[in-house]
Amino acid sequence: MNIYDETEGFYRRFSGEKTVYGRSAEGRPLFAMFIGKHEFPVGISQYAIHGREWVTALLALFHARRGVCRGGVWVLPLTNPDGALLSQTGLCSLSSQKREFALRCNGGSYDFSLWKANAEGVDLNVNFDARWGTGVKNVFAPAPENYVGNEPLCAPESRALWCFTEEIKPNFTVSWHTKGEEIFWRFGQSPREAARDRRLASLLSRATGYPLGEAAGSAGGYKDMCICARGIPSFTVECGREELPHPLGEGQAGEIIEKCGEALCAFTEGY
């Protein structure tokens, strides 16, 4: 079973509060499920914004089953379903009109396993309005990774995620990526906000065993815009050992869940 079908099946069976908060470039629904209570703190936890990092959606399903210890969390298990399917299953996952375009973006290669972008060649995690287009790895034409888009939030997936964020007004956000076993938490906060956010990042660090780090030279991420535009603590957790090759698959999911499965519960408990 591919990751989209597994996620959709879980969503359909999920008996709690849930919603479709948008649609992907290929028209696939973007799922959100609420765990816990609508009491402080309420956050957003999103996964698989990069196609090749689809294994984090399996962590999302574990988190949705596990629940939280305090407050509540909206779990968004597959932020980039088109990219995840393209990485996992190849061109057959795309509509016929997008296949030639994707093949050109991929340099003519039929191997899409390392694809990070959405179906339009936009890297969603550099498409947010937070120093947009200034990242050291940014590119300015459709590509498997690092293309910022023609303007902030031009991709339907990033736009839907931001609209949902504005609607929910979360107290925090956590984004789950692969790989490197590190937690990023800074993006130009004031000293007071930095002290707050470092304390909260340390909760994630203790729960996962991952050290805190800084993503020098990055910009335009979801975490970054949450910090800049909403002034809330926002974190990126890189799951999976650095020495493992992309894309991490189901064989690595058990180790990731072992290290990160209790992280949301522990984080909310100590918030």
Q: Cβ distance 207 to 123 under 8 Å?
A: no
Comparing CA positions, the residue from 188, 185, 201, 161 lying closest to residue 79 is: 161
What are the extents of the domains in the chain?
3-270
Q: Contact 33/11 with Cβ under 8 angstroms?
A: yes
Q: How many CB atoms lie within 10 A of CB 146?
A: 18
CATH (residue range 3-270):
3.40.630.10
pLDDT tens, position by position, for the chain (271 residues)? Answer: 899 999 999 999 999 999 999 999 999 999 999 999 999 999 999 999 999 999 999 999 999 999 999 999 999 999 999 999 999 999 999 999 999 999 999 999 999 999 999 999 999 999 999 999 999 999 999 999 999 999 999 999 999 999 999 999 999 999 999 999 999 999 999 999 999 999 999 999 999 999 999 988 999 999 999 999 999 999 999 999 999 999 999 999 999 999 999 999 999 999 9
User: Where are the extended beta strands (E) located within 51-125?
Assistant: 72-76
Check: CB of residue 4 under 8 Å from CB of residue 47.
Answer: no
Question: Model-level pTM greater than 0.85?
Answer: yes
Give the bridge partners for 147, in sequence order.
139
126: burial class by Cβ within 10 Å (0-12, 13-18, 19+)? buried
